[in-house]
Structures are given as structure tokens and as C-alpha cells.
Amino acid sequence: MLFRSLLGGQAITATVLFSDIRGFTTLTENLGAAATVTLLNEYFTLMVDIIQANGGMLDKFIGDAIMAGFGVPVAHEDDEDRAVRTAISMIATLRDWNAKRTSEGKLPVNIGVGLNTDALIAGNIGSMKRMDFTMIGDGVNLASRLESACKQYGARILVSENTFRKLRGTYRSRLVDNVIVIGKTQPVAVHEILDYHNEETFPNLPEFLQSFRLGMDQYRGRRFKEAASTFADTLKLHADDKVSKMYIERCAHFVESPPPEDWDGSWTLSEK
């Protein structure tokens, strides 16, 4: 364990967690001002308790979003796993909270979580009248963009390759894409963590993952017709999987317009 003194600010490597509520505008329209504040206070209390229980540091609230860091100001050997366990617990806790909310006739709350481990700058930033401890840099931006990408992939937890390759634990996961985010030229592999599921919420998950990985191998091997057929079989195991539907569309596109010879399987992520 290493405590980092960051009062003056310094460059460090840490894992950033960024989460946001899906469809928050619709929620606020239905709730009104007072009920919205009550909801956010209850939600933030649950989520921050989980972050702190796993050794994370709450950085800030940004509207209905939460930004947290793992490895700052205290670094652990397993900060990446702590961040992933936090995300899993956040989704599982939210599921229980939503069950209570719906039983009371209230709308459920759904979130996306993005995780990225990278070099960033941490320290007190602001003016002489007000300063806040925070983290800034491309590593923070990527975590935020992965959270936003949860909508595109129909995912709850997306993790960059930077985080995934440092994990010590074993998690039920899949490689969902190799993306180039806006403002970057090099692709980043993106993984989805599915450990918050149980047999009730996702039956046949092991078989589903095996089928999906076969489809990805075929897709990346430019065998697009075979891949489309495999992804169709994957949908038979989980009909709502947005990623499999996405790859069937991509395969159809590449059958008609094959990618260049130097194609590396990457896709440009068009949304921030």
C-alpha cells in the first residue's frame, strides 16, 4: 500500500470509474424537483458507500454522474480489481434497490459504468477562492466515453484493455469491440464485465459467451458470413443482446464492402 501526497499535484497511474444514470431527463420530468433531489441523495449514498468500501476515492458528482478513483491517494496492488468489484456491486445493489422502488410504484434507475486505468494528473485544481481535489487527463476522458458507450452496446460495465489486462481476478466477460474514440488514432480494446448477472437474470451465460467468442474469432478473421450465422445462434441464447445484433449488421456491411487488407478489426466510435 502506498499513500500519495498530491497536494501540489503530480502525474500518477490510477483507475478511473465513471458512472451515469440512463434516461435521467425522463426521470426528472416524472418526479419533479423535490423527488429528484431525494432520489439522487438515496442513489449517491448507496453508490458512494460501495466505492469507499472497496478503497476507492470519490472525486466528484457531475449532475447525476459519479467520478471516482482507485489508486489515489492510496495505491493498492489490486486497484483494478477493486474498481471492477465496485462496478459489479453497484449494478447488483441497484438491482435490489430497483426491486424495492418498483414495488412502491416508482420508476427504476439504470446506470452505465466505464473503467479505465491510465496516466493522469491528480491534485488541487481551481482558483484561490475555491480549489477541489480532482483527476484530469485523457485517462479520465476515456472512462467517461466508455460509460457513454454503454448505451451503444447495451452494456452496464465497460472496461478498457488498459484495466482488463491488469486484473488479477477472473470475471465473466467478453471482448465487445476494438474502438477508436474521438480525438484518438489508436484503437482501444473494450471488454464487458458480466459478473453482476445470475442464472435468473442471464440464463445460459457460459454457453452464450462461448458462442459469442466464436463469432468474434470469425469476424476478426474476415469470415463474415460464418460470423453472422454464429451471432444469430448467439441471439437464440439471449435474444436481447445488442452487441450480437450489431455484429450481424457489421458482417452484412463487410460482405457487401470488404474492409481493406490491413484492417485490424477496429471501429470508430462516433459518439463522445
Higher-pLDDT residue of 111 and 265 is 111
Mean predicted confidence (pLDDT) in 215-243: 97
Task: State the distance between the two ends of the chain, measured CA to CA, in whole angstroms.
Answer: 35
Nearest residue to 124 (alpha-carbon basis) of 80, 79, 73, 51: 73
What confidence score (pLDDT) does residue 9 get?
Answer: 62
pLDDT tens string 170-219? 999 999 999 988 777 789 999 999 999 999 999 999 999 999 999 999 99
CA-to-CA separations, 219 to 146, 189, 197, in angstroms, rounded: 22, 15, 26
Q: Give dist(CA 156, CA 25) in Å, integer.
A: 19
Residue 82, SS3 per DSSP: helix
Please check the confidence at residue 220 and state whether its pLDDT lies above 90: yes
User: Would you state the cell numbers that stand for residue 142, as one nine-digit string?
Assistant: 476515456
- The whole model's pTM is what? 0.93
Mean predicted confidence (pLDDT) in 80-96: 98
User: Would you state the cell numbers that stand for residue 112, as one nine-digit string?
Assistant: 452505465
Please check the confidence at residue 162 and state whether its pLDDT lies above 60: yes
Grade residue 233 by pLDDT with cuts at 50, 70 and 90.
very high
Torsion, Cα 132 133 134 135, to 10 degrees, reads 150
CA-to-CA separations, 256 to 128, 239, 251, in angstroms, rounded: 59, 25, 9
What confidence score (pLDDT) does residue 272 get?
Answer: 52
Please check the confidence at residue 12 and state whether its pLDDT lies above 90: no
What confidence score (pLDDT) does residue 8 get?
Answer: 59
Mean predicted confidence (pLDDT) in 44-49: 98
Mean predicted confidence (pLDDT) in 163-167: 98
Q: How many CB atoms lie within 10 A of CB 266?
A: 15
User: Would you state the cell numbers that stand for residue 25, as one nine-digit string?
Assistant: 431527463
What confidence score (pLDDT) does residue 27 get?
Answer: 87
